[in-house]
Amino acid sequence: MINFDALQTALGMVFALDTILWMIVGIAVGVGVGAMPGLQSSTAVALMLPLTFNMEVAPALGLLIGLYKGSVYGGSISAISFATPGAPEAAATVADGYKLMQRGKGKKALHMALYASVTADFLSDLITIFLAPALALVALKFGPSERAWVLILAITLIGALSGRRLAKGMFSAALGLYIGTMGSDPIGLVPRNTFGLWWMRDGVPLPPLVIGIFAMSMVLQELMKPAVVAVARDKASKLADVLLSKSEGLKLREYLSCWKEMMIGLGVGSFVGVLPGLGATVGAFLSYAVAKQVSPHKGIGNGALEGVAAAEAGNNATVGPTLVPLIAFGIPGSATAALLGGALILQGVTPSPRMFDLFPHIIYALFIILLLGNIANLAVGRAFASVYARIGEIPRAYLVPLIGAMAVLGTYAYQQNPYHIFIMLACGLIGLMFRYLSIPAAPLVITFMVAPLAEANLRKAVLISGGDWFHTLFNSPLSIGLAVACVMSVLAAIRFKMNENAMITDRDDE
């Protein structure tokens, strides 16, 4: 049922000048960040998170969701222009996008990327709006035992979906769980795992952790590089010339001819977005692969607009659905969703199915911002594409110190506690180690948020059942079903890994 009072409040919150302005700022910065090779949406959201500490909830959501949407689309600009994806999720766009660029159809490719991104993003947001409340209704029927199993299932899925990097993904998840136990235990509030430091008694706060893992690690890695690498100025200028020229843009007929690929992107991206730990990169590649299989005659991979449409629809369609597990179960679907969850917690709103009862106006505001963000993304992307094309010219020598200073100031801005800088820098060093050892950072952030919830629910369930662990864990058919799902996901991961190893061995033998 729609709560019309809450809807009216939400409309007032979203259509306020500051919310609209911060959303536009978020998208403008997000597209720029996405267009800049090396910077990702999670880095941008982590860096901008401190700006939201003193904001109202709607402008904060506008800024962060704008950043997220903008940066996922923005990656296509450098992917098409220089064959250098601005972010991993745009890598699937390179094959067709860059070939179109070389054939002088760069403007068409860039417009197709924008329209496919916005179309799939908008439709996937509608799916989110219908799916999240339905799942939240189911989640509300869960007791502590079922909630604990759902959280365990999310953790096993993160591992199962890590693909080739199963052990690394699971190590990252386990380390996130360990860091999540720092501070005090969630039931008795007894200090533990504080390394004897008084300022660790409140545990590791989310902002220093994410700023360290995503932004600081990037700065430290850039400082390690002996030479500063920048995109060649002539290439960027050439791209700007293409965009400013009167060459033919995308025709409506061409856009409509890619409907099948956009729908594939929508379906695959939405499905991938809902699963915890996968994210936009998998959405883009999977959608691209399915589109190639379904339409072999369209020449996807050889410079086809359909390839650009499939990849871009696939990555942007994950943006909305990644919030579904966050809202319905309190489990972030991706690192960026974890950051959005963190922003909500900082605003005093804990993401959970109870949000629909306690803060319906914020849920509505979130949904409206998701939809409205697409219009802003379209407008900003269309009007300023030529400006973003020049972003590759910004020397790293200017960018790295700015990100470093923002990370330091942003960490301090959260609670003005100078000791948090130590946490942020330690997380930065862990992030740097992850970068060099090719360990994914997203599982760490997701499980870090899930760890206290899982422990609290499990121990509450044990207390309710009078200390009987077996009865705690398997007290209902749903608990047993979820436990089976956990075992299945682990077995599927192991089976997948074994098959993959067998294939590699066969190939080596040949």
Partner 1 sequence: MTNRQGAYCLLLFMVPILIYVFSSDWAFVPMRDGVLIGAFTMMYLGFCVIFILAMIAGPGANELLEDIGEINTPGLVKIVLFLLGAVAVTFWHEAYGFVMLCSLFLAAVSWFAGQTSPVGILIYSLIVSTALYLLFSLLGFDLSIAPGLKVEFL
- Interacting residues toward partner 1 by CB under 8 A: 51, 53-55, 164, 166-168, 170-171, 174-175, 177-178, 180-181, 185, 187-188, 190-193, 195, 219-228, 395-398, 400-402, 404-406, 408-409, 411-413, 416, 418, 421-422, 425, 432-433, 435-438, 451, 455, 459, 462-463, 467, 501, 504
Can you tell me which residue has the tokens 């899930």?
Answer: 450
Helix axes 396-413, 420-436, angle to 10 degrees: 140
Give the residue with the Cβ less far from partner 1, 385 or 400.
400
Shortest distance in whole angstroms from residue 408 CB to partner 1: 5
Assigned token pair, 184 = 């005090």
134 vs 503 by CB, closer to partner 1: 503
Query: 307 with 300: CB under 8 angstroms?
Result: yes
Q: Judged by CB, which is closer to partner 1: 259, or 436?
A: 436
What are phi and psi for residue 86, nearest 5 degrees? -65, -30
Structure tokens given for 70: 């903008």
Min. distance of Cβ 117 from partner 1 in angstroms?
29
- Looking at the Cβ atoms of 15 and 398, the one nearer to partner 1 is 398
Q: Which is nearer to partner 1, 22 or 288 (CB)?
A: 22
3-state secondary structure of 192: strand
* CB distance 272 to 284 below 8 Å: no
**Least distance to partner 1, CB of residue 449, Å:** 14
Shortest CB 13 distance to partner 1, Å:
19
Report the nearest approach of partner 1 to the CB of residue 454 (Å).
Answer: 9
Residue 100 CB, nearest approach to partner 1 (Å): 29
Judged by beta carbon, residue 2 or residue 227, the one nearer partner 1 is 227
- Shortest Cβ 84–partner 1 spacing (Å): 16
Nearer to partner 1, 401 or 481 (CB): 401
CA–CA–CA angle 124, 106, 97 (5° rounding): 55
- Hey, is 273 helix, strand or coil? helix
Residue 192 main-chain phi, psi, to 5 deg: -155, 155
By C-beta, is 134 or 228 nearer to partner 1?
228
Are 265 and 291 in contact by the 8 Å Cβ rule? The answer is yes
Supply the minimum distance, in Å, between the C-beta of residue 472 and partner 1.
Answer: 11
Least separation in angstroms between CB 162 and partner 1: 10
Nearest-5° angle of CA 86, CA 344, CA 313?
35
- Distance in angstroms (rounded) separating the CA atoms of residues 336 and 67: 10
The minimum distance between CB 334 and partner 1, in angstroms, equals 21
Closer to partner 1 by CB, 126 or 456: give it: 456
Minimum CB separation of residue 197 from partner 1 in Å reads 12
Alpha-carbon distance 313 to 121, whole Å?
A: 7
CA distances (Å), origin 217, targets 41, 101, 224, 424, 498: 15, 33, 11, 10, 33
| Residue 268 or 331 having the CB closest to partner 1 | 331
* DSSP run (H or E) holding 125: helix 106-140
Q: What gap in Å lies between CA 43 and CA 262, rounded to an integer?
A: 27
Distance in Å, CB of 141 to partner 1, minimum: 25
What Cα–Cα distance (Å) separates residue 158 from each residue in 25, 153, 256, 354? 32, 9, 36, 24
Token pair recorded at residue 57: 């909830």
Residue type at position 207: P
Rounded to a whole number, what is the distance in angstroms from the first to the last CA of the chain? 61
CA dist., res. 96 & res. 92, Å (int): 8
Neighbouring residues of 198: CB distance < 8 A, sequence distance ≥ 6: none
- Cβ proximity to partner 1: between 365 and 458 the closer is 458
Beta bridge partners of 288: none
Nearest CB to partner 1, comparing residues 250 and 399: 399
